[in-house]
Structure formats: structure tokens, C-alpha cells
Structure 1
Amino acid sequence: MTTAALLLAAGASRRFGAADKLLTPLSGRPLVEHAALALAALPLTHRIGVVSNPEVGLILARCGFELATISPGRPLSSSIRSGMRVVQKRRTKSVLVALGDMPFVTTEDFARLIADTRDSIRCAVCEGIAMPPAVFPARYYDRLMQLSKDKGASALISNLPEENRIEFPQSRIRDIDRPSDLAFASS
């Protein structure tokens, strides 16, 4: 399969507090490692992780990810552009964009997104809201490179037709933004 995974793991964790939330333990391993291992189990040609913290980079490298590093505090669009520069060099037919703070998305969830081989964007949806993870065919790479500020690819996925939106259960699609999200995750 000529699909790359792009794991965005360079956020500032502003709402989490002083600690890097991606290093916070969840079920015995760092939070980011959950997403990395789920992606590592897929038959993908390349796995790229965008990081700003060297410790997060070490975790992703152990999981088989090639790293793209950005300065801390950069907006989400910087992470996407940095990772997409690597993806474009690999000449893949599509890229699966995932977030490092979504530890409950399973390998099977990711596989559902990449199983459809149509040349169209596909994304997760929960309660009618389109969100990552999402798959972008190569013809959208330039649009991903043009993103700016801290909005990510929401403009590209928000109005997709129903057949391009794959329903995910709320229990698996949630992300970790605050320490209280971890308490909820443990219950």
C-alpha cells in the first residue's frame, strides 16, 4: 500500500499544564505511544511523526517513525506542512493524518479509513462532526501545504459527503487535552 501515516505530535499542551501531555502515562505507556503503535501495526509504506519534544521523538522512533522536527509552540499548520514535506518526498498515493493525543483510536479504526481506495478525502466523524484522523489523496497535498495558522485541515474535511465520513464511537475518537480527560479515560 502506498499510504503514509503522518502523526502530529508537536503540540504545546497549553490546556494540559506544564507537562508535555504526550509523555503522560496512560495504561502503562506514554500517551503518544498508543497512537504510534496503532499506526505501526498498519501495512503502510512510511510513518512520519512531527515532534517538537526530543523525548516524544525517541518514542516515535522506537515505533518505527521517521521524524520531522519543528520548534515548540508552532501552530498546527506548521506541523502539517513539516510532515507533508517528508510525505511528498516519499511519493505516496495518500496520507493518513492522525493526532498524537488521540490514544483510543485503534488499528482497526485506522484501517477502515485507509481501506477505501477512492481518490477522495475520508475522515472520522462523531455525532455529525468531521474530525481527524483523515486520509488525503496525493492530489490534496498542495492544499495541505497551504494551510496556515492553528486550524489544521478542518476546512478540507468539514463538508465531505456522507460516504466519505466514517462514524467512530465517541469513546475512541476523543482526545486528551486536560488532566481531567485522563481521569475520565481511566474510568
Structure 2
Amino acid sequence: MTRAEDTALVLLAAGASRRFGAGDKLIAPFDGKPLGLHAVAALASIPFAIRIAVVSGTALDLAAHGFHCVPNHRQADGLAHSIGLGVQAAREAGVQAVLIALADMPRITAAHVGHLLAEADGPDAVVASSNGEVAMPPVLFGRRHFDALSGRTGDAGPRALIRTGKSIIAAAGELADVDTPEDLARLTYA
């Protein structure tokens, strides 16, 4: 088991959101609040050592919700670059693990993240979420993986590492992420 108090939450909120259109996806209204605040609220009760948000171009004020914001000025370098920025900030905070979550996954729960923490077994841990078919975020990485996660670009590196770890199946619909306005509409009416 990895303690939340020894873990950094790294919330990725720096995507270009090209498929969503011209607007700021993370401030799009969903169930009475901005889309990007659902994951923030769901994980608020977990006593992480530090909360880090990797951001680029969103008007969502994550600092007001207790996050140390790390700007990503190179979002074209892909998800791996955002992960690297978040992991570097976590390393500087002296944590033993990072939990990578996506700001556009509004249905994630603290209970599921608690299962990820419970299954993590030290510095070599890789524990991903799963919909029963594919491993995906949220995902927990132990400290020994920080070097492998830092300094990469593209998306392939983290995905390959995720496939080497354990997977915890989440409740149906909990891992839905919003890439398009149609995704948001489906969640709104689900």
C-alpha cells in the first residue's frame, strides 16, 4: 500500500482540446460546475502530499483549489511532456509516488483512487485504472519510475509503462473522458 500522504496528485490540464472545438473544454458547464472541477472535487478528500496541475491555456483557476500549477509551454510535445513536468514537480516535493489523473474525467471517484493506492506496493509500483479492456489513467507510479517518466515527448512511453503494471477495474462509466462536445452531451444525458 502507498499512503496518499507520500503521493503527489498530478492533474493533467494542458491538452490542446482540438477535438472539442474552439472553447476551453475544462470550463464547459457540466452538472452545475466547470467540467475540469469534477475530478478536483472528487479527489479533494484524499490527503495527497501535494496537488500539482500541469496547465496550458485554460481559464480554470486550479490554484484556487489548492494546486501548484506548472505551465506547459510545449503542449505539442504530447501527453508525455505534461507527465514529465508534473513528475519533476513531484520529485522536487520529495514524494514516493505520483498519481496521474486527467482533468477531463469528471466521473472519477475517491474510492477508485483509494483502490489504486491500496494496490501500489512500493517504489516499483505501476497501478493503472481499467475499463475491463484497456489500462488508462488515473495511474499510480512509484518513485523508481520518475526518471522514465521525465523528459519524454509523445504519448508512447507512458502507455508502454502502464501496460507493465497492475490494472484495477473501475465501475462502469467512471473512466469516461471528454474529448468532444458529443462526449460531454452523452455524459450529461447518461
Normalising by structure 1, report the TM-score.
0.91
> What is the rounded CA distance, in whole Å, between the counterparts of 1:25 and 1:62 in structure 2?
18
Aligned partner letter, 1:91: G
Aligned partner letter, 2:112: D
2:30 aligned with 1:30, yes or no?
Answer: no
- Equivalent of 1:7 in 5, 8, 11: 11
1:111-157 C-alpha deviation (Å, 9 max, x unpaired): 11112341211010112211111000001000001432134611101
2:86 aligned with 1:83, yes or no?
Answer: yes
Aligned alpha-carbon RMSD (Å): 1.5
Aligned residue runs from structure 1 range 142-181, under 5 A? 142-151=147-156, 153-160=158-165, 164-181=166-183
State the match for 1:184 in structure 2. Answer: 186
Of the structure 1 ranges 142-151 and 62-71, higher mean CA displacement relative to structure 2 is found in 142-151
Residues paired across the two proteins, number: 182
Q: 1:38, 1:107 within 8 Å by CA — same for their partners in 2?
A: yes
Aligned partner letter, 2:136: M
1:154-182 C-alpha deviation (Å, 9 max, x unpaired): 1101233xxx2100123110100010111
1:70-110 C-alpha deviation (Å, 9 max, x unpaired): 12643212211111111010110101000011110011111
Show structure 2 runs of 5+ residues with no match: none
Of the structure 1 ranges 83-92 and 109-118, higher mean CA displacement relative to structure 2 is found in 109-118
State the match for 1:100 in structure 2. Answer: 103
State the match for 1:62 in structure 2. Answer: 64
> What is the rounded CA distance, in whole Å, between the counterparts of 2:167 and 2:120 in structure 1?
14
Show structure 1 runs of 5+ residues with no match: none
